[in-house]
Amino acid sequence: MTLRGKTAIIGAADTEVGVIKHMGATQLCVDAILRALADAGIDKGSVDGLVTCNSMAEPYMYHAEAIAEYLQIFPRYCVSVGAGGGTTFTALHQAASAIASGICHTVVIAMADSLRSGLSRERALAMQSSTGHAQFERPYGATVPAYYALIAQAHMHQFGTTSEQLAAVAVSARKHAERNPAAQMRTPITIEDVLNSRLIADPLHLLDCSLVSDGGAAVIMTSSERARDFRQPPVYLLGVGEGHNHEHISQAQNLTTSAAVESGQRAYKMAGVGPRDIDFAGIYDCFTPVVLIELEDLGFCLKGEGGAFVAAGNIEPGGLLPVNTHGGLLSHCHSGNPGSMFALTEAIFQLRGQANTRQVTKADIALVHGQGGIMSSHCTIILGRESGQ
């Protein structure tokens, strides 16, 4: 069974992002849902499916059920999903499957966290260290930036990628963020600014690393048959694919090629499109080298040419493939596992033609991609203004 064109997103909304001290993670999640319901023009009684992601700052044993209880909704489909940074798109995949199989009709997908104001320094460090393999990684003291620095070093060694090319990813993200009044960081930066920022894990500097933020977002999905009955123009799910090749970086078979190859190919096949058909993209950018590898693995440039592709300005505003037009995790915000939600909502706003000063010239087909762990679990989504049916 293919999911192409069978479901559509009819509501989308973001909360405030950055440092949100007056709302905790649970409140942010509920706020995002209420905003998305208002965007779709429906009330909570219309919802019969709920998918969430657990919070690090305010975790629940049964997160989706806790949010449903808070809202006083009683869905027939209720699940919490966990796939790290790729959670958003894995959740979308599962929700679309539930709708297409008739399990439910109207699903809210919502995620939020308070990584900036909801975690103490001690809890944040414990969270960072817990990601490593208990036997082969944690005893050596590496943190998440160090794992991604390992990937960056491998790409530089194998393909001659430079620190300047990595920095170009951060500069591009900031150029997009300058156009987004909601972005956490909007001050222009240069290649030199990135290279002169504090070294975190060689070769990654502070500005090569994503932000730490509070914030959340939600979308509402239904069947294509029902989608035209709502307030907003529908955005259709055209293709989806997943790829999973390891959990811990010490077990990765390749540091410069990821399972985005498989997830991308599966999504393209379902959608019936290829990389050249994509008008803009939302690509997971927790650290700058990740963008280079994902651009290569998703077919936007040849393997090893990601650095040159980015340095040529191709992913900047007005470029061949605008990437992370909201500013991405590097400049808009990064609230942990919900981080990819903002790439999803941004794609929806662009496809609706509602992105205001950052609206891309052509917005018919979008690709969004997330990865969780340390380049571990990948999910690629292709969205379009038309159902393709």
CATH code at position 16? 3.40.47.10
197 within some domain: no
Whether 149 is in a domain gets the answer no
Pairwise pLDDT comparison (228 vs 378), residue with the higher score: 378
Domain presence at residue 225: yes
CA pair distance 275, 104, nearest whole angstrom: 32
83 located within any domain: yes
Count of domains forming the chain: 1
Using CA atoms, how far residue 244 sits from 90, 96, 203, 248, in Å, is 12, 20, 26, 11
Question: Looking at residue 131, what is its pLDDT?
Answer: 75
Distance in angstroms (rounded) separating the CA atoms of residues 152 and 177: 24
Q: 183 or 229, which is more confident?
A: 183
Determine, yes or no, domain membership for 54: yes
The whole-number average pLDDT for the span 19-30 is: 96
Beta partners for 108?
50, 220
- Asked if residue 368 has pLDDT above 90, the reply is yes
- For residues 11 and 60, what is the distance between their CA atoms, to the nearest angstrom? 26
Distance from the first to the final alpha carbon of the chain: 14
306 belongs to a structural domain? yes
Q: Tell me if 349 is assigned to some domain.
A: yes
* Element housing 199 (H / E): strand 199-201
Residue 231 to residue 39: CA distance in whole angstroms: 8
Does the residue 1 lie in any domain? Answer: no
Name the token pair of 309: 């592709």
**What is the structure's pLDDT at 82?**
84
Domain that holds residue 89: 7-118+211-384
Q: In the predicted model, is pLDDT for residue 283 greater than 80?
A: yes
Q: How confident is the model at residue 128, as a pLDDT?
A: 67
Q: How confident is the model at residue 138 (pLDDT cuts 50, 70, 90)?
A: confident
The DSSP output letter for 349 is: H
